[in-house]
Structure 1
Amino acid sequence: MLIYLGFSAVAVFLAALLLLHSGDTAGAAAAHLVFTVGIVPLIFAAISHFVPVLTRGRGAPRSVLLLPLLLQLAGAATFLAFRGTLPESALQAAAASTLLIALLFAGWLIRRARATLGKPHPGWQWYLLAILFLAGALPLIPAMDWWPQARPQLRLLHLHLNTLGFIGLTALGSLQVLLPTVLRTPDPDAAQRLRRQLPYAAGAVLAVALGAAFWPPLSLAGSLVLLTITLQIGRACLARHDWQALSTDGAAAKLFAALLGFALLLIFGSAHAFAVGAGRDAVPAFVVAFLLPLVSGALTELLPVWYRPGRRTPARERMRAELARGGTLRALLFLVGGVLLALGMSDGFWLAAVAVLSFLIALLRSLASVRAQDKS
């Protein structure tokens, strides 16, 4: 399941980039293809993998593990509705289904945390809050039809609750655990930092979302808080690892690039709040400068574990090495491509497409290497 969703996310990224560049698909449809078919199911699946570790319990039950597939079906309906292939009612049904799944998943998270022996790792709270932000964004979809006069404001609320609330909080919470794992050096301060930062991060997301919809100065304040948290994570990472360690490991390079991309996009977003730059460029830049290095970096570390669970083996290490090869160059392509898109330059699509295609080839090559070693 996790391996399928990982491949699916990469394929969806590439398809969306090509669709956008060809002009056959509107930006909103392509963005929802990435978000609802690729990202949302993968994040839910990854959370179902991490939460048993954070709560020191058994693996997720089959009923929870199947939820990402249902989310992907709802996402496909959403994309087709935006394309005009399905009626508007399909979009409303998909939103209602996703909301129900999100609430069920949140209930499972809470039950698992309460059943923990001792205190659960605070990372689970970041995941719970991220899912609640997603749940808060979904009712805004029918609300846009009920109150068309408020559609621009509701759309901005929906957009920011999804991008900064759901994806942003999931990423900022995960990176503080995943980066030390990738670099094989535990961070003993991560749990305390996560507890301290969570209320500020949640308040900042709300400030950005409400400010973007109703009062830009509030959005700027929220962006500055989120930027401060992002820089704290980067500083903590650099305090334990030098630039050489970050740049030579392909997984770490992409994850750190995602952190840099998030910081840059907060700066671009703050500028846009005061009518500097074009808002339509923000979403593709978010995908390229932040989502692509984040997902590809995480998959570089996690796919070998999912494919060969249990203790480390030479086959698993070889698979990771294949995925990490060229990771630093891909990280640079994602960052530069995202910045170009944020500046309104379409050349960023080509850089992103080359990097995604390169990672897809690395995925296939890594699987082939493991299978070849199994046969030998």
Structure 2
Amino acid sequence: MGFLAGYLAAQLRILLRSRSTLFWVVVFPLIMTLLFTSLWGKPATPKIDLGLVVEDEHTAIVEGIVRGINATPMVDDLIVLDSREELLEQLRAPPPRGVDVGIVVPQGFSRNISTGRQACLELLYLDTPSSWTNTSLAIARGIVDELSRRIREHFLEAALRYTPQQYRPYVVALAEPVKVRVEPVEPETAVTEAQVKAWIALSMAVVEALFIGLLVGATSFHEEKRLGMLPALLSSPLGSWSLLAARLLTALLYTGIASAVAIAAGALAGAEYSASPAAVAVAAAMIALATLFSASIGLVISGLAKRQEAAEAMANAVAFPLMFIGGIWVPKWMLPPLLQRLAEVLPVSRMADAARAVIVYGQGPGEALAEHTPPTVLAATAVFLAIGVLLYRRLLEKSIEHPG
């Protein structure tokens, strides 16, 4: 135990002195968590800049339309223009355009509305094959449809006062042949802004487990060799097992620090966590297991690489793609079907799911473990760790047989 404590204390001193290690363990999770909680932490609501041209007289009806558009949450900016030509100029301008879509209120609109006749509005948009163009047009159509619905209700109410009782259903059907009832369905798990930020923070903790485990495992043999510590460590009576345990504990220590930074940064950004002791214990165990699994892959890399620089490059070559395509940093539902299947069998991804389930969504620890970490995941972790340990032991034995 004295050796392990002294080794970890030495690793902490190295962490504080090494700028690169300090960056990846402390600064990187802090910056990434704060950055992505600010970018992705708010639910995305599309908003448009809408241009409005009023060719009609500025009546109470027109003023009501302007007030209604201003109150629409999907309109970011209502720009009142003087002429149709100015609206066309704004629509045809290169990005960023002045307006996304335009509405023209032609002459006679208020007169037709006030006398019970059909009135006309014009929608102008840039005819380009763009998803944003379609979105902008759909939002503008929704605004016009809502205006039409309210006017129709007003006309219908007035007409029904003068319609005999037996004919009223036919008048209602004539005004609105198909009535649509819109009923929201409450989701089983509502995703709030605070939960999105918590999801990002937990994901950052697992990303750190992935990177730190891989890098510590991949450089475990080469770093001691480079620093000249290997002969002294191998000649000590503690044996190679203590050295291996010290390296794995170093990975867990660094991951613990990085995870604490990511979770604290998430809380600073407004994340809310389920902080029951059982949930925290499960999340900590999952992050620790993810670190050990990553370290086992790193130990395999250590046996394949001839130098520390090559081991670091190979570890990064594994970690960076897995971060994005393994369902760790990018939600699984955003991935193509093939990558979704990969994420389902990748132990680190399943461990991330379990940690997020208990901390972000408040799922019961037993239920989360049963759903996200089946025995196959734990077995795969144990197998990879055993392979990594055997290769690491083989490296140490070869270094004893051939000290140079």
TM-score, shorter chain, exceeding 0.5: no
User: Which of the two has greater strand per residue?
Assistant: 2
Q: RCO higher in 1 or 2 (8 Å CA, sep ≥ 6)? A: 2
- With normalisation by structure 1, the TM-score equals 0.27
TM-score (normalizing by structure 2)? 0.26
Which has the larger helix fraction? Answer: 1
